[in-house]
Amino acid sequence: MAYIDGVLVPVPVAEQENYAAWTARVSPLFLEYGATRVFDGWGDDIKDGKINDMRTAVVAAQQENVVFSWIEWPSKAVRDEGWEKLMADPRMNESGQPPFDGTRMIFGGFAPIVDISIKNGNPS
């Protein structure tokens, strides 16, 4: 069964292009080590919550935006092995310093409980 890594990270608005370039450099490594998809989305419609929201969850400053990312893997076993190889791959360090404060990044692994999509016009 598929497995998903989910990520929220605050990125300075002025660093949007640098973030996109950085993630374009590292994302192919995830695919090389077994991921089937890497997605990064720049916050476009993030509402303020009454108690918590995406911005407060990552302690985003006024001049920062939230990036929502996920990495799809065919299974948790492939994901665990892939991450181990990624962390040992020197190309990860060669990709440059990420343009965000990683100490405020929130991430975790998720086992799907519902997975419905439209393919060729039919729910699957």
Looking at residue 122, its pLDDT comes to 65
pLDDT along the chain (124 residues), means of 10: 96 96 95 98 95 95 97 98 96 85 94 86 64
**What is this structure's pTM?**
0.88
Looking at residue 98, its pLDDT comes to 87
Looking at residue 96, its pLDDT comes to 77
Looking at residue 111, its pLDDT comes to 97
Looking at residue 80, its pLDDT comes to 98
Looking at residue 97, its pLDDT comes to 82
> Which long-range contacts link 53-61 to residues 24+ away (Cβ below 8 Å)?
54/8, 55/10, 57/8, 57/106, 58/8, 58/9, 58/10, 58/104, 58/105, 58/106, 59/10, 59/104, 60/10, 60/104, 61/10
- What does CATH list as the number for 3-113? 3.30.70.100
